[in-house]
Structure 1
Amino acid sequence: MPATASGGARAEEAASALSLSSSAPFCMGTRPEELAARLVAGGPGGVGGPGGGRGEGGEGEHERVLALREIKNQIIGNRTKKLLYLRLGAVPAVVAALAEPGASPAALVQAAAAAGSFACGVDDGARAVLAAGAVGHLTRLLAHPDDKVVDACARALRMIYQSKQAPTFDVNNEKNMDFLLSLLDSENENVTELAANIISYSCNSNTEQLALCGAGVPQKLVSLFGGSMNLRDACLESMTAIIRNNWEVASRFASMDHGKAFRSIVALIHDRSPRTRLLACLCLIALGHASPCHFLDRQIKTKLILVLLELIEEPGHVGDEAPLALTTLIKDSVELQKQAFSTNAVAKLSNHLLANTSQTRRAVTILLALAELCSKQEESRSQLLSGQVSTLILDALKHDCADIRVAACSCLKNISRSSKVLSAGRLSCDTVIAPLVQLLYDSSTSVQIAALGAICNIAVNLTPRKSVLLHSGVVSQLVHLSKSMDPTLRLKSVLALRNIMFLMNPKDKDLILKELTVSTLSSLICDSEHSVQEQTLALVQNLLDGYVDSVNYVTGEDGMVINAISRQLNSASATGVCIQGMLVLANMAAGNELNKEAVMDVTVPHRADRIKPSFVVNFLQSKDKQLRVATLWCILNLIYPNSDSSSTRVARLQNAGVISQVKNMINDPCLDCKDAYYIFDDKMLCRKLLLQS
């Protein structure tokens, strides 16, 4: 049964309030077909048929209550029965009972409970309940004089707002905000909990967060922490939604009541309820990420790590999600990863993984936490590999669950940042490459992408033994994936090829190009995605680096590759593409005269039409310093060394306005540009002296 906003399956199971006496006469059939037919046929006035009567006292009303109750009891926690009643068209009839002015409180309670149950955990059920107009009727009935009706309607609305099908609640609308505030002010905890659930579901943008903050919602939520456990948990989730990724709201909250509100959440990480402790940790993590300056207390951070490590021991949802919360807390933070390591986090997580291999969700979140712990800390990697967990990670690559395979790849990706790890032990390159290559054929795109990420790192750190990769058959599959319709697969496969090509010997580069082909390379340079274009050009750079003859791949076969580069640079693609393109040209321009002329034909082509300036001039004027530096080095390589041919190139560059633009860069704010300029100036001075002599 799906979890509710306040945890567990409480909402759907508790919806049977105001059950009828077991001694009440009950003569109607209980088969779904009979119940649905009687409910649908009865319509306004009840199920009892002629003479049934309306209101609380009629026989028809009594039978309708019995029918609604029986339907509700049959569908609670029973997905199959829900789908059956949906096919029988029962939902509109159930919602119609909520709309009838003369309906008894008993009928309203049972109808609300049934409507909420239909919406819980079944998307088609939620859609049917929404299409029948249940939200409007349930919302109206929150003002009903009978508390049991109000409770039932609030519970039903909570279940509806668990569904992704539920309508968003526009808090920027003044009337909606007033209504939400009235719910928060209610003395009925089911109603205030509903308000908190609506906030958690509907607060998705900065403007909504600011609107809720401006209306004083955080203060109201904090004031409700003293209520029931379920209400407190719902309020913590709402606070997290309001704070998440919003510096202004997080700053206001941290300063609220001189820090009293902040301290109240810190206190809740020691609450008796494991779920409350987890939600309080998540709220503080969101606050720390949104406004780091208000979350500098090292002691609190250490407490969070310790609490989350303790929560992993809890059964069910809390224990499953605690490692993920820890991952979020320490993500990209060297300081926090060191703190986690000092609290023996690697060993504790490893022990939990060994003890919970059969629990899929927990295994996934623990692997992801271990992956993050190993992302920046060599000590964490060494400790992880010193135990039995390394064998589990290898086994996880072959697990039936795709999420576990993805998590295992993430672990390997970060572990392989260390070249020491790949040289020996259970996770040496010889043991990990074969299963990773096999995952490139996986039916799950997510698994393929995760495996590519690991292979990318291994390829960089495996420089002395890249033959292991070449003989694994990885190149042919990477080439195949580079032609995928999925842009992420194309990008990751090109990244892997780029890293494999890095510092590879010429013979092996030839083998890769034979597999890749010049045609595919030129197509990737002109890919629809800028990121793919950029990384393909970086691949070409690695091809050219240290291999003189490799320029033939760029200029040969009717210039397919060089022409593709020219098209990208002339079309002024994304800055990253232009930088990589100019680095390729700079590399080529450092070669022989033929190479330099090939670069000149791209940068300053021979043409009668001189109206359109060379893209090189625009690049020298770019706001991006890397592009200016790359362009300057390309020009330097074109004019060096001094010769008759270089003099001709200087003249062409001068006519295109390139030389004059370079001279304007004497005051460039970028030191690398200035250094390149002074080298250029020195070369031009030497040339001038030679001509004078």
Structure 2
Amino acid sequence: MLSSLDERVVEAGVRALKMVYQSPEAPKAHRLTADALQRLVVLLSSDNRSVAEVAARVLARCCEAPEQKAAVADAGGLEGLLRLLSTEELSRREAAIDALATLTSGSSDISRRVADSGHIISQLLPLLKSPSAHVKFLVSCCLTNLAPAMPSTSANPSQTAEVVRKAVLPVLAKLLNDPEVREEVPAVLSQLVADNRELQAAAADSDAISKLAGFLRRDDCSQRLKEGTLRALSTLCADREQSRRQLLDAEAMAPIVRALDDPSPQVRLAACMCVRSLSRSAKSLRGSMVDHDVSTPLFRRLDDPDRDVRITASATLCNIVLDFSPVKEAVLAAGCIGALVALTGSPEGELRLNAVWALQNLVYTASSEVRAAVLAAMPWRTVVDLTNDMQTDVQERTLNMLRNQCAHCLPPEVIKVLQWSGGEMYPLLVSRVDPAASHPVSHRVQALYTLVNIAAAGEEEGRDGILDAGLAAHLPSLLAEEGDDVRLAAVWAVINLTSSGDECPGAAKRVAMLREAGVSAVLATLSQMELDAEVRERVKTAVSNFVAHDMFTE
């Protein structure tokens, strides 16, 4: 029909397409062929103004896939829409803006081509003052898409990304009050202010956070509005403590927690994102989240059927379990330690990382019951596999988990950890600090501090086992490293291994082993060097330990 020589048939065909794609039951999976898209592009230049307008409306609804957008652009669709934008008739201009907003959404290449096309910004900016809420919204969408493709400076001040974003923000803030476009506005607002703290602050000052929170409290909040609102709040609160405080003061926590169990996976994901932003708050604000029992629905999301929900929920738990004993105990009571351990075996790298990270934070300053539960749920073989994971950040977090597991332990707890490893703890850690193995500095630091924590527990067999595993041979090289991080950790290891007293009967033997390995000589050299203040003080302590045993030589 679109290729008919009869203009009336063409118009009927394009109007039929418009009706199909505007329907809520439109076949999203069905895509127009390249020939059909090219024919629609041709119709943008039709002498029949109605046909050109309707063709633009169809393009605005049928070109969501990247390949379709590229096909329209390659067929000259951008030029056709820009010509349509230059006409006097508002309805045709609106149709062109609608299509341009769709084509530029998520496409940096098309956005750049449109932004570089001439006077489009100067054509769009005045339309932000249109009496039509729909026109203002479409223009805001288009400008939001184009802003990242615009220069930060320009001979024409109105042609910069900053000016455009600042012009769009107050318009979107006001459109939150308009029922005609309210469902669509939060998503665009989120895109506009992403990674821009100045705009996030301006949005908060324009009362956007309280308006969005108000949507969540309404019983008639649709799933689309709920998802967009939660995503917008997540973005607005991602980097600003003041915005997080505003959101909590707006009594939004309860509906956010309820949204974690929403039937829609998109809403559940957006709720997890919002909670994750809030979980970056200062400890006092995160305490408010604990009061609303946000952890319980988050635990359920670890088994969510949606992959993205599982990833975001596990990332959120990393923050929430860090500081609060009630949350740590809730994890234990809910049996979620096993779920986190199971996720460490996921084929998804993000899930493995988040799960190990959550376990790392869970055992940090945790009760002996929580730590013991992690040991019971996590086979040592799993730890070994994670320390050899293809992702180095998973390896590092696993070593950090071991460090936290051994921190502030009593001797019986250290013995349990060593028994858990089946005697493999020391060889694993010592292999990680070996300078010849070329492991990342951060990995060596975590492994060293794990040994430091074990030695600090005061369990004599544990201290002897560290040296028996070969650490002494590596310490001179570790102490001589240029970086303060490894050097400080190595000095702490020496201090804890050489501490004397009635509770350390084997200290003299260990001092002798370290002296024979050359550790005392390196410490003597370090004591004469200009060092970081903390390293210098720790070196003094280590030297004094040797002196106390009459084993230190100048």
TM category, shorter: 0.7 to 0.9
CA contact (8 A) 1:538 1:580 kept: yes
Question: What's the CA shift for 1:181?
Answer: 10
Q: Which residue of 1 aligns with 2:155?
A: 256
Kindly state the Cα deviation for residue 471 of structure 1 after the two structures are TM-superposed. Answer: 1.4
User: Is residue 418 of structure 2 the alignment partner of residue 555 of structure 1?
Assistant: yes
**Number of the residue aligned with 1:584:** 450
Match of 1:473 among 335, 340, 348: 335
Matches within 5 A, 1:127-276: 129-130=33-34, 135=38, 151=52, 155=56, 162-166=64-68, 168=70, 189=86, 200=104, 204=108, 217=116, 220-225=119-124, 243-244=147-148, 250-252=151-153, 255-257=154-156, 259-262=157-160, 266=163
Deviation at 1:531, TM superposition (A): 2.0
1:462, CA displacement in angstroms?
1.9
Shift of residue 666, structure 1, vs aligned partner: 6.1
Q: In the alignment, which residue of structure 2 is the partner of 1:78?
A: 20
State how far apart, in whole Å, the 2-side matches of 1:589 and 1:573 are: 22
User: AA paired with 1:449?
Assistant: I
C-alpha change, 1:198 and 1:544, in structure 2 (3 Å) is closer
CA offsets per residue over residues 387-445 of structure 1, 9 Å max, x none? Answer: 66443233222211112222333344454546556767xx6557433333222222112
Percent sequence identity over aligned pairs? 19
Q: What is the alpha-carbon distance in structure 2 between the residues aligned to residue 262 and residue 691 of structure 1?
A: 67
Q: CA deviation at 1:328?
A: 5.5
How far off is 1:165 after superposition? 1.8
The match for 1:521 is: 383
1:619-634 mapped onto 2 (5 Å cutoff): 620-621=480-481, 625-634=484-493
Q: Indicate yes or no: 2:219 matched with 1:395.
A: no
Residue 231 of structure 2: aligned partner = 368
Equivalent residue in structure 2 for 1:496, among 333, 336, 358: 358
CA distance in 2, matches of 1:339, 1:197: 24
SS in 2 for 1:461: coil
| TM-fit CA distance, 1:631 | 3.4
| Deviation of the 1:157 alpha carbon | 7.2
Superposed displacement of residue 486, structure 1: 1.9
Cα separation, 2, equivalents of 1:227 and 1:340: 21
- Structure 1 residue 453: deviation in Å? 3.5
User: 1: CA distance between counterparts of 2:312 and 2:15?
Assistant: 44
Cα pair 1:309 1:323 within 8 Å, conserved: no
| Alpha carbons of structure 1 residues 558 and 398: separation in structure 2 relative to 1, 3 Å | closer
> 2 CA distance for matches of 1:527 and 1:620?
29
Contact 1:482–1:489 (Cα < 8 Å) also in 2:
yes
Contact 2:44/2:80 (CA < 8 Å) preserved in 1?
Answer: no
* Aligned-pair CA distance for 1:479: 1.9
Q: Deviations over 1:613-649 (max 9, x none)?
A: x497378536x54344333433443454562321212
Q: 2:467 aligns with which of 593, 600, 605?
A: 600
Instruction: Rate the CA distance shift 1:461–1:338 in 2: closer, same or farther, 3 A.
Output: farther
| Contact kept in structure 2, 1:367 and 1:407, CA below 8 Å | yes
| Separation (CA, whole Å) in 2 of partners of 1:339 and 1:202 | 24
Aligned to 2:217: 354
Contact 2:314–2:355 under 8 Å retained in 1: yes
Question: Which residue of 2 is the match for residue 645 of structure 1?
Answer: 510
Structure 2 contact 183–228 (Cα < 8 Å) conserved: no
Q: CA RMSD in A?
A: 5.1
Contact 2:337-2:373 within 8 A present in 1 as well = no
Cα gap change, 1:423 to 1:480, in 2 (>3 Å): same
Q: How many residues align?
A: 527
TM-score, normalising length: structure 1:
0.61
Q: What is the CA-CA distance between 1:240 and the residue it aligns to?
A: 5.2
Q: 1:565 to 1:399 in 2, by over 3 A?
A: same
Offset from partner CA, 1:287-326 (integer Å, 9 cap, x none)? xxxxxxxxxxxxx6xx876543322123355643336525
After superposition, the C-alpha distances for 1:160-193 in whole angstroms (9 at most, x for unaligned) are 764322375999xxxx9xx999879968748996
In 2: Cα distance, 1:197 partner to 1:376 partner: 28
Q: 1:554 to 1:218 in 2, by over 3 A?
A: farther
Q: 2:311 corresponds to which letter in structure 1?
A: I
Question: Measured at CA, do residues 563 and 447 of structure 1 come closer, stay the same or move farther in structure 2, by a change above 3 Å?
Answer: same
Looking at structure 2, the residues matched to 637 and 584 of structure 1 have their Cα atoms a distance apart, in angstroms, of 12
Distance 1:662 1:189 in 2: 80
**Which amino acid in structure 2 is aligned with residue 629 of structure 1?**
L
1:436-515 alignment to 2 at 5 Å? 436-463=298-325, 466-515=328-377
Say which one has the larger Rg.
1
Q: Are the structure 2 counterparts of residues 423 and 325 from structure 1 closer, same or farther at C-alpha, using a change threshold of 3 Å?
A: closer
8 Å CA contact 1:360–1:401 kept in 2: the answer is yes
Distance 1:339 1:629, change over 3 A: farther
| CA distance, structure 1, for counterparts of residue 17 and residue 79 of structure 2 | 32
Change (3 A) 1:375 1:168: closer
Say whether residues 1:325 and 2:189 are aligned partners: yes
CA distance in 2, matches of 1:343, 1:615: 58
CA distance in 2, matches of 1:390, 1:561: 43
Measure, in 2, the Cα distance between the counterparts of 1:152 and 1:79.
Answer: 15
- Identify the residue that residue 617 of structure 1 maps to in structure 2: 477
Q: 1:438 to 1:203 in 2, by over 3 A?
A: closer
Aligned mates of 2:425, 2:404 — CA distance in 1: 15
Distance 2:552 2:441 in 1: 38
Unaligned ranges ≥5, structure 2: 501-506
Q: Is the 8 A contact 1:212 1:242 kept in 2?
A: no
